[in-house]
Structure 1
Amino acid sequence: MKRRPRRSTPAVLTALILLAACILAAVAAIQQLLGQRPWISYDRAAGWLHAQHWNDLVPAIAGGVAVLLGLILVLAAVLPGKLTVLPLQGEPASGASRRSYRSTLQAAASGVDGVSGAKLTLNRRKVTARIRTGRTNTDGLSEAVHAAISRRLAQITPATDPTVKVKVKATRSAP
């Protein structure tokens, strides 16, 4: 089970921009049908657009921006995002949410004696733990945290075993 994130943000932004353009065009058309002065004068806009040439600066910049936005939207649709459900081993397709996966590993790291705080980062094949301790002597703490996280990973049984990296930061210095 590999669930990917939805691409709702680019879709919502595109929809809102198109909706605003459609509302603006509809309001101008309705104002013109009712004989009122429209917000955007069609004659003035059409005259300005007809006065532009393809090799002018404004159409070149507008075209470049349109191409860049289109490329960003295509890349957002095509490139895979971070997995929201991480696959686990087992016969039926099973998985754990990224949040619960991180919190259970963080709890394992925080449970080690001498750890005052733990912050975990999950990448595709790597778990990085940043450990804070109040100890002045941090010998063996990194190995203990690594062992605790490895034991918890063995209990979880992820589909691919990530490598574990531990960084220890002592809040107190040795005298």
Structure 2
Amino acid sequence: MIRRPRRSLPAILSALALLAAAVLVATSAIQMLAGQRPFISYDAVAETLNRARWDDWGVAVAGGVAAALGLVLLLSAALPGSATVVPLDDDRDGLDSGASRRGLRTTLRAAAAEVDGVRSARLAVRRDVVTATVRTDRVRGEGLRDAVHAALERRLEEISLAARPALQVRVRSTRSRA
């Protein structure tokens, strides 16, 4: 079970652009049917586009922007995003289960914060690596890195992920070494 994020932002932006174009066309059509002067004159737009040449800068820039935007939308639809659910080990019972990245990060942060000497902990959960940055008030952080690493290893054993990520622990001291 690996759930991927939805592509809602590109879909929303595309829908809003199409909605804006549809509103402009509908407004102009309604104004023309009502016998009023249209907000955007069809004749003026058609005349401007008919005068445009393929080698004009405006046409080249508009084409480049449209191509780049289309490529970005195509890549955002085709490339997979980072998994929002990390699969858990199935224990041979056939159940398909997972843990959210946010929940995994929270429980690992709590495990790191329980270590004696850790003032605060920040964690980044990526596909293959969990990076923990812990802050301490100790002047010397010897042994703290190993203690945090061991606490995170124990918590990962309890969680039983399907693919075990590598652990990186960084210790930052807030006191000066003077």
TM-score (norm. length: structure 2): 0.97
Name the residue aligned to 1:82. Answer: 82
- Give the aligned CA root-mean-square deviation in angstroms: 0.7
For residues 32-61 of structure 1, what are the alpha-carbon distances to aligned partners after superposition, in whole Å with 9 as ceiling and x for unaligned? Answer: 111101110111111111000011111111
1:76-115 Cα deviation digits (max 9, x unpaired): 0010101111101013110001110100000000000000
Amino acid in the other structure paired with 1:144: A
Partner of residue 169, structure 2: 166
Question: Which residue of 2 is the match for residue 112 of structure 1?
Answer: 115
Structure 1 unaligned regions, length at least 5? none
Alignment match, 1:14: 14
C-alpha distance in 2 between matches for 1:127 and 1:138: 20
Moved >6 Å (runs of 4+): none
What SS does the corresponding residue of 1:132 show, helix, strand or coil?
Answer: strand
Amino acid of the residue matched to residue 40 of structure 1? I
Gaps of 5+ in 2: none
Identical aligned residues as a percent: 55
Equivalent position SS for 1:127: strand
Provide the residue aligned with 2:71 in structure 1. 71
Once the two structures are TM-superposed, the CA of residue 174 in structure 1 deviates from its matched residue by 2.6
Q: CA deviation at 1:145?
A: 0.2
Q: Secondary structure at the match of 1:159?
A: coil
Partner Cα distance (1:174, 1:62) in 2: 58
Residue equivalent to 1:94: 97
**How does 1:18-97 map onto structure 2 within 5 Å?**
18-90=18-90, 91-97=94-100
Q: What's 2:152 paired with? A: 149
* 2:139 counterpart SS class: coil
Match of 2:4 in 1: 4
Residues of 1 paired with 2:130 and 2:27: CA distance? 54
TM-score of the pair, normalised by structure 1:
0.98
Aligned residue type for 1:157: S
User: Quick one: which amino acid aligns to residue 66 of structure 1?
Assistant: A
Matched, 1:140 2:143: yes
Name 2:106's counterpart in structure 1: 103
Whole-angstrom distance in 2 between the partners of 1:110 and 1:24: 56
One-letter identity of the residue aligned with 2:134: I
For residues 7-28 of structure 1, the C-alpha deviation after alignment (integer angstroms, 9 at most, x for no partner) is 0110011001100100010000
